[in-house]
Amino acid sequence: MGKVDQISEDVVIFSRKIFGEDFVPLHRPVFEGNERQYLVDCIDSNFVSSVGSKVSEFEELVAAFTGSKHAIATMNGTAALHTAIKLAGVKPGDEVISQALTFVATCNAISYAGAEPLFIDVDIDTMGLSPVALKRFLAENAEKRKNGTFNKTSKKKISACVPMHTFGFPCRIAEIAKICADWDIALIEDAAESLGSYVGSRHTGTFASMATFSFNGNKVITTGGGGMIITDDAELAQRAKYITTTSKVPHPYEFVHDEIGYNYRMPNLNAALGCAQMERLSDVLVIKAQLADKWNKFFHDRDINFVKAINGNIANHWLNSIILDSRLDRDEFLTMTNDNNVMTRPIWTLMSKLPMFKNCQTDGLENSLWLEDRVVNVPSSVPDGALKKLNR
Ligand SMILES: *Cc1c(COP(=O)(O)O)cnc(C)c1O
């Protein structure tokens, strides 16, 4: 038996031991708290749609958890990103720096704002935007003028930068923030995957003027579908609430809207789910850390590279990740495990290879290409009954 065959078989056996004999999903939600009760409360109150007390309650819980002054709930993470990018001052025709190694939502949101992404390489160890690559790209390709930073080749304004904390591993966000400040480029953190991840004692998403989260069904906690913008800036918070609520001018009965707005509000039903999920978030993070420990030992024993947070940062362990030796090994591992009903997934196809982004400017993307061939996620759910055991 080859090395990859053996490891695939071991992963199947180990996954079944931890998660049960049937189909093992990559990441499933857990509803073992007050979810049902809060949903019933919502229905009984008649407030199931975009007005209701659960929305502001959920916003306050997320603001408090992340240590932000304000949080604005939205219908999904992509809508939150679109809103934040627009409020950062990105205009149609601008360029926005991001990673080629990210989920497509990051780049879709940049496109919704009428801007085009520029793809900069990631670091191998964080799988997030590389400050070294960012600095080099700007030094070679950008010039700073009175009204901002411009791309010397395309002549377009580089108005924002959207790094992403891949699978919940914090990227070098403090260094990135410094470079963006030096170049007068707005910074927005796509923290969709990193609720519960910290750089030192600071929650991811608090290094930029705005950051966004996702509460899609596969994330650390879920509202069914949902997103959130966090910011310390009261004016940005007010603007975010306003344009995601159809830009309606407050009035007891008149319908007046003074700019193009969006119906990006989170319904009260989804927020109810979010409130119950927030009550369990700290416990979920403890269990996920224990699971990551087990996977770490498992892969260490088999001489496989298991991804960890750098410099003592804290990852939420959303998706446990390994780095295999080659594309061939990766494909073999994916086929073997999925054929045996244990769900594993490769990292994303680089954005720069997708038809709608294939003409966007990139740097060499050396690390992104290397990781694309090798990174695989293994089952990362909170196991059945683990939360109950923790609280006993
Ligand atoms: C999940 C996710 C989003 C937002 O996704 P939604 O499904 O719209 O909530 C954005 N960026 C990244 C990196 C994500 O993983």
Same domain, 92 and 152: yes
Same domain, 195 and 257: yes
- Angle, vertex CA 231, rays to CA 156 and CA 308, nearest 5: 85
- Please check the confidence at residue 136 and state whether its pLDDT lies above 90: yes
Q: Which atom of ligand 1 is nearest to the CA of 81?
A: 10
Arithmetic mean of pLDDT over the chain: 97
Same domain, 110 and 238: yes
- Please check the confidence at residue 237 and state whether its pLDDT lies above 90: yes
Mean of pLDDT values over 333-353: 98
- Please check the confidence at residue 342 and state whether its pLDDT lies above 80: yes
Q: Helix, strand or coil for residue 334?
A: helix
**Domain-terminating residue out of 231, 259, 279:** 279
Length of the chain: 392
Same domain, 46 and 194: yes
Same domain, 17 and 139: no
- Ligand 1 pocket, residue 105 CB under 6 Å: yes
Q: Global pTM?
A: 0.97
Q: Which atom of ligand 1 is nearest to the CA of 193?
A: 15
Same domain, 57 and 124: yes
Ligand 1 pocket: which of 164, 165, 214 to mutate (most atoms within 8 A of CB): 214
Within 10 Å of residue 55's Cβ, how many Cβ atoms?
25
Question: pLDDT band at residue 202, thresholds of 50, 70 and 90?
Answer: very high
d(CA 382, CA 219): 12
Rounded to the nearest angstrom, the distance between the alpha carbon of 389 and the centre of ligand 1 is 31
Same domain, 244 and 352: no
CA atoms within 13 A on the CB side of 374: 17
Mean of pLDDT values over 333-355: 98
**Domain-terminating residue out of 246, 279, 312:** 279
Ligand 1 pocket: which of 62, 74, 78, 98 to mutate (most atoms within 8 A of CB): 78
CATH number for the domain harbouring residue 13: 3.90.1150.10
Same domain, 200 and 344: no
- Please check the confidence at residue 392 and state whether its pLDDT lies above 80: no
Q: Report DSSP letters for 76-123, one per residue.
A: SHHHHHHHHHHHTT--TT-EEEEESSS-HHHHHHHHHTT-EEEEE-B-
Backbone angles phi, psi at 165, to 5 degrees: -90, 90
pLDDT at position 377: 98
What is the per-residue pLDDT across 349-370, written as a single tens digit (0 to 9) for each? Answer: 999 999 999 999 999 999 999 9
Q: Which atom of ligand 1 is nearest to the CA of 214?
A: 9
Q: Report DSSP letters for 276-303, one per residue.
A: HHHHHHHHHHHHHHHHHHHHHHHHHHTT
Same domain, 71 and 20: no
Q: Which atom of ligand 1 is nearest to the CA of 164?
A: 13
Q: Do 350 and 23 form a contact (C-beta atoms < 8 A)? A: no
What is the per-residue pLDDT across 262-320, written as a single tens digit (0 to 9) for each? Answer: 999 999 999 999 999 999 999 999 999 999 999 999 999 999 999 999 999 999 999 99
What is the per-residue pLDDT across 31-87, written as a single tens digit (0 to 9) for each? Answer: 999 999 999 999 999 988 888 899 999 999 999 999 999 999 999 999 999 999 999
Same domain, 274 and 130: yes
Angle of helix 234-243 versus helix 77-87 axis, rounded to 10:
120
Same domain, 250 and 384: no
- Ligand 1 pocket, residue 214 CB under 6 Å: yes
Q: Which residue's CA is the closest to the ligand 1 atom numbered 13?
A: 103
**Domain-terminating residue out of 279, 305, 330:** 279
CATH number for the domain harbouring residue 224: 3.40.640.10
Q: Which residue's CA is the closest to the ligand 1 atom numbered 4?
A: 77
Q: Which atom of ligand 1 is nearest to the CA of 78?
A: 8
pLDDT at position 184: 97
d(CA 360, CA 365): 13
Gyration radius of the chain over CA positions? 21
- Ligand 1 pocket, residue 223 CB under 6 Å: no
pLDDT at position 110: 98
- Please check the confidence at residue 215 and state whether its pLDDT lies above 90: yes
Q: Could you tell me the residue range of the domain that residue 20 belongs to? A: 3-28+281-390
Count the domains in the chain. 2
pLDDT at position 201: 95
Rounded to the nearest angstrom, the distance between the alpha carbon of 55 and the centre of ligand 1 is 20
Same domain, 248 and 143: yes
pLDDT > 90 fraction of the chain, expressed in percent and rounded:
96
